[in-house]
A and B are shown apart, each in its own frame.
Chain A
């Protein structure tokens, strides 16, 4: 009796009064989002420095950011960028000691990061609004008068080689993160073998480097026309604009270094690279290079990637690995472009070892299928909506987001044309465009497969 009652409850017809109109028939409004006008937030100084400033006063915080077109591969002086990163992180502006710099950050309860990429870097300082004056002084000092010493080179060199007696190196978090991270690192080592993006400073490089070399790198790239600034938070925009003029207006204009154009990578035939790993899980990275993509092809590529494997729950890769079979918690695709050279296009998964080969086969099968068949109308509809109405608008949702987006775009492209046309380009993508993008940017014949597992499998 109890069982019958339960069944009746489980499959009871939904209440008649419940509105279960299908989403397609709900009459949801068209998107009303328009990208903000960058000119409304922009300050251009006579020396070429461009800043974007916006108020965001929900809480009494301020973020000061700088984006500099200088990275690991920008200069022939190997190790200079890494050493400069350490100076930015640890030494601070000249005129104060490293200890006082760190103490000042702590006193402000600052969140301070310096992220170094291959072709650019980002400095970000988030502080309570009450500490804006002090934070601005530090920020200006970091950009205009950084303290650089041989100690920065030593600490950068120290981070190249692992410290063998570090008790955490072999412990939990590192073991786990290191495994997928290590698989991705191995993939890029293989992809960028003999390519400048694959070159990393050695101990010999650091040994032959001195503080003057790092200072020269700093002087060359930290010039007004080679960086952009973003300021957002509980601020008065006019006040900040005035202060930026006072703090940076007398910074002498200098030659803007030409971005270093990178060669294409040498493509090779598909190959399995097996790394023996006896663990509870196995890690898999499949991929190849991503050449510089012309603007007119970027939208179709993004749509194709969204359908096949972008980081959400209803991709083809997820359906064919996770949902149907319970093989893995995640199988996703990663479009990782670079500014002036080839990036990577990878597909990654992790699972218990006994099903990792199944995952490989299913993922590869989907990569081949998207090259052979047009996507469905629904897939296209979903991807376009997700990109045009979802991921794009949130880049401009508040002052913090929009100043960062505009500052990065201005530094990379010199204008804002790409974001101005983004939604229109995405909405114009057709099924044929997606098929063309798949055939051009997915190349199974060049796929390099990195496998961390106890045993290898055949990729034939």
Chain B
């Protein structure tokens, strides 16, 4: 493989202020291979281990309505092995998978044909909801039978077991709206194992035991729904966003049965290509050593048509929206959300500072107003707090007494309006910046957490954005925060959630 581009980029230490700036120094080394695969390395001589991450630029944003959670499900399927990892007789197993695939095609045809006959268009669904026909039953039974036969020729955990055997730790995969990543923490001199397994996973995954794994997503969904807060936050997300998939959860119960091997395969083949992939290594390895090794395992992959990146554009805000939620178990509250830009936009870093400063300030304001409640400001949408697409900043006032809801909303909105006109004291901003800086150090000291941040920024925008992002937070002033509030905290960009007790008459 020819080296397409070879960049050695050492981030340069800031000159001032000394304590904060020079410690954002991230000695990231980059190499981009001819096929577009990106390798990022932080060399830590003396470390006898290496944290390894492989990021793919795909996630829930690439799903289609009706099959929410399909990206997350793909991640589960990619743990099921390959022809060379997990099969005891690939020739026979392969034949059975081909039969399963054909049966699934027939099942899809039958489901299409029978849709009007079944009238399966109810409003109320759970994961057990299903109507059927004799042909559907027959095909499902066939798939189940073929799967059981295929299982005879395969073994479970075929990839993770080798990481474990050779001292790998923390093997996990995560899929969020914008990314899927697999990571591991290995002895540095065994890095070949990571490269061998991940290259195989990326190209040759076999979706074994598909239907049993589908039920694991049901379990994980129940893990979410067991929180009484979940339905409220999901309703609030869908209120805030009108177009962007960033506001969709990782699968409703009625989505799970819709997943097909065919669709999962299409997602896999479209997105798991070299030029949509970033490897991040931090530990006792060097870039020079890693280039030939990565080339050995990934170099045969050809550059593919680059998957289209999700743009995440929202229509211009045009009106205030309101959600009234009633709950007997969830504490009364008022929540105000505003859409904000994603990472890569110059306004985005200062929102981190704004959240810190305004949270403390608003807490003091509501307390002084005699409101018994606590303020939380975050930018969490579904599971993630930072995106490369527009999302929202969420200002939540949780109350001890529902009778204060009206007063709480009035106080909160009045103060947010004021904060768009008058700056807060500079020392409040300085304190918040110190807190954010210290939190960043706590992230950066952990190789795994740092590798994730680097990969995440690469997916959101570019790994080169990370350091300027941190620096921009330090550079934000009280006037900047005022200007942000004035620009974004406007009525037409606002969504309000109000949680009332069930006892309040409707």
A-side interface residues toward B, CB under 8 Å?
Answer: 3, 6-7, 9-11, 14-15, 17-23, 26, 28-29, 31-33, 56, 58-61, 106-107, 109, 111, 126-128, 130, 165, 167-168, 170-173, 175-176, 179, 279-281, 312-314, 318-319, 322-329, 350-352, 378, 381-383, 385-386, 388-391, 393-394, 397-398, 400
Number of A-B contacts (CB under 8 A): 219
Given A17-B300, A386-B164, A391-B169: A26 and B196 interface contact (C-beta under 8 Å):
yes
Which candidate, B8-16, B215-223, B316-324, is the interface stretch facing chain A? B215-223
Name the residue on B nearest A60 (C-beta).
B23
13 contacts between A and B (CB under 8 A): A15-B300, A20-B196, A21-B196, A26-B192, A128-B437, A171-B331, A172-B227, A175-B228, A323-B157, A326-B216, A326-B218, A378-B161, A385-B164
Which candidate, B54-62, B347-355, B439-447, B470-478, is the interface stretch facing chain A? B439-447
The distance from the CB of A16 to the nearest CB of chain B, in whole angstroms, is 8
CA distance A246 to B59 in the complex (A): 55
- Residues of the A chain whose Cβ atoms lie less than 8 Å from the Cβ of B285: none
CA distance A199 to B204 in the complex (A): 56
Name the residue on B nearest A322 (C-beta).
B216
- Residues of the A chain whose Cβ atoms lie less than 8 Å from the Cβ of B151: 324
Choose from B166, B204, B219, B435 the contact partner of A28 (Cβ within 8 Å): B166
In the bound complex, do residue B192 and residue A326 qualify as a contact, i.e. CB atoms below 8 Å apart? no
Choose from B98, B162, B299, B444 the contact partner of A23 (Cβ within 8 Å): B162
- Residues of the B chain whose Cβ atoms lie less than 8 Å from the Cβ of A26: 192-193, 196
Choose from A19, A20, A322, A389 the contact partner of B167 (Cβ within 8 Å): A389
Given A23-B165, A61-B445, A389-B167: A168 and B331 interface contact (C-beta under 8 Å):
yes
CA distance A324 to B162 in the complex (A): 20
In the bound complex, do residue B209 and residue A323 qualify as a contact, i.e. CB atoms below 8 Å apart? yes
CA distance A350 to B225 in the complex (A): 14
In the bound complex, do residue A385 and residue B435 qualify as a contact, i.e. CB atoms below 8 Å apart? no
CA distance A20 to B296 in the complex (A): 11
CA distance A58 to B444 in the complex (A): 8
How many residues of chain B are within 8 Å of chain A by beta carbon?
84
Choose from A11, A171, A400 the contact partner of B445 (Cβ within 8 Å): A400
In the bound complex, do residue B157 and residue A313 qualify as a contact, i.e. CB atoms below 8 Å apart? yes
Give the secondary structure class of B's interface: helix
In the bound complex, do residue A326 and residue B214 qualify as a contact, i.e. CB atoms below 8 Å apart? yes
- Residues of the B chain whose Cβ atoms lie less than 8 Å from the Cβ of A388: 167
Which candidate, B183-191, B243-251, B460-468, B488-496, is the interface stretch facing chain A? B183-191
Choose from B156, B193, B441 the contact partner of A61 (Cβ within 8 Å): B441
CA distance A179 to B269 in the complex (A): 41
The distance from the CB of A329 to the nearest CB of chain B, in whole angstroms, is 4
Q: Would you list which residues of chain B between 26 and 51 have a CB under 8 Å from chain A?
A: 44, 47-49
In the bound complex, do residue B225 and residue A29 qualify as a contact, i.e. CB atoms below 8 Å apart? no
- Residues of the A chain whose Cβ atoms lie less than 8 Å from the Cβ of B190: 28-29
In the bound complex, do residue B223 and residue A281 qualify as a contact, i.e. CB atoms below 8 Å apart? yes
The 6 A-B pairs of least Cβ separation, nearest first, read A389-B167, A172-B227, A326-B215, A314-B157, A167-B331, A326-B212
Digitize B239-270: 1 where CB-to-A-CB distance is under 8 Å, 0 elsewhere: 00000000000000000000000100100010
- Residues of the B chain whose Cβ atoms lie less than 8 Å from the Cβ of A21: 196
- Residues of the A chain whose Cβ atoms lie less than 8 Å from the Cβ of B222: 280-281, 352
The distance from the CB of A401 to the nearest CB of chain B, in whole angstroms, is 11
CA distance A381 to B164 in the complex (A): 10
Q: Would you list which residues of chain B between 176 and 234 have a CB under 8 Å from chain A?
A: 185, 187, 189-190, 192-193, 196-197, 199-200, 203-204, 209, 211-216, 218-220, 222-223, 225-230
Given A26-B192, A28-B192, A61-B442: A323 and B156 interface contact (C-beta under 8 Å):
yes
In the bound complex, do residue A171 and residue B219 qualify as a contact, i.e. CB atoms below 8 Å apart? no
Interface membership of B64, Cβ < 8 A: no
CA distance A279 to B225 in the complex (A): 10
CA distance A34 to B157 in the complex (A): 29
- Residues of the B chain whose Cβ atoms lie less than 8 Å from the Cβ of A32: 48, 187, 189
Given A26-B192, A313-B171, A324-B156: A352 and B218 interface contact (C-beta under 8 Å):
yes
Interface membership of B303, Cβ < 8 A: no
Interface membership of B367, Cβ < 8 A: no
- Residues of the A chain whose Cβ atoms lie less than 8 Å from the Cβ of B439: 109
- Residues of the B chain whose Cβ atoms lie less than 8 Å from the Cβ of A22: 84-85
Q: Would you list which residues of chain B between 421 and 480 have a CB under 8 Å from chain A?
A: 431, 434-435, 437-439, 441-442, 444-445
Choose from B301, B330, B431, B437 the contact partner of A172 (Cβ within 8 Å): B330
- Residues of the A chain whose Cβ atoms lie less than 8 Å from the Cβ of B169: 390-391, 394
In the bound complex, do residue B187 and residue A176 qualify as a contact, i.e. CB atoms below 8 Å apart? no
Name the residue on B nearest A314 (C-beta).
B157
In the bound complex, do residue B23 and residue A3 qualify as a contact, i.e. CB atoms below 8 Å apart? no
In the bound complex, do residue A23 and residue B48 qualify as a contact, i.e. CB atoms below 8 Å apart? no
In the bound complex, do residue A171 and residue B228 qualify as a contact, i.e. CB atoms below 8 Å apart? yes
Choose from A19, A172, A328 the contact partner of B196 (Cβ within 8 Å): A19
Name the residue on A nearest B189 (C-beta).
A29
The distance from the CB of B312 to the nearest CB of chain A, in whole angstroms, is 28
- Residues of the A chain whose Cβ atoms lie less than 8 Å from the Cβ of B417: none
- Residues of the B chain whose Cβ atoms lie less than 8 Å from the Cβ of A10: 97, 101, 265
Choose from A128, A325, A351, A390 the contact partner of B164 (Cβ within 8 Å): A390
Interface membership of B94, Cβ < 8 A: yes
Interface membership of B168, Cβ < 8 A: yes
CA distance A32 to B398 in the complex (A): 53
In the bound complex, do residue A18 and residue B223 qualify as a contact, i.e. CB atoms below 8 Å apart? no
Name the residue on A nearest B42 (C-beta).
A58
CA distance A394 to B85 in the complex (A): 27
Given A59-B445, A60-B23, A394-B49: A314 and B161 interface contact (C-beta under 8 Å):
yes
Choose from A107, A111, A168, A381 the contact partner of B165 (Cβ within 8 Å): A381
In the bound complex, do residue B441 and residue A128 qualify as a contact, i.e. CB atoms below 8 Å apart? yes
Choose from B187, B209, B214, B227 the contact partner of A31 (Cβ within 8 Å): B187
In the bound complex, do residue A393 and residue B48 qualify as a contact, i.e. CB atoms below 8 Å apart? yes
Given A280-B226, A319-B156: 13 more A-B contacts, CB < 8 Å: A10-B101, A19-B296, A23-B165, A28-B189, A28-B192, A31-B167, A58-B44, A59-B444, A109-B437, A326-B212, A385-B166, A393-B167, A394-B49
Interface membership of B414, Cβ < 8 A: no
Interface membership of B160, Cβ < 8 A: yes
In the bound complex, do residue A314 and residue B23 qualify as a contact, i.e. CB atoms below 8 Å apart? no
The distance from the CB of B55 to the nearest CB of chain A, in whole angstroms, is 20
- Residues of the B chain whose Cβ atoms lie less than 8 Å from the Cβ of A111: 442
CA distance A33 to B105 in the complex (A): 52
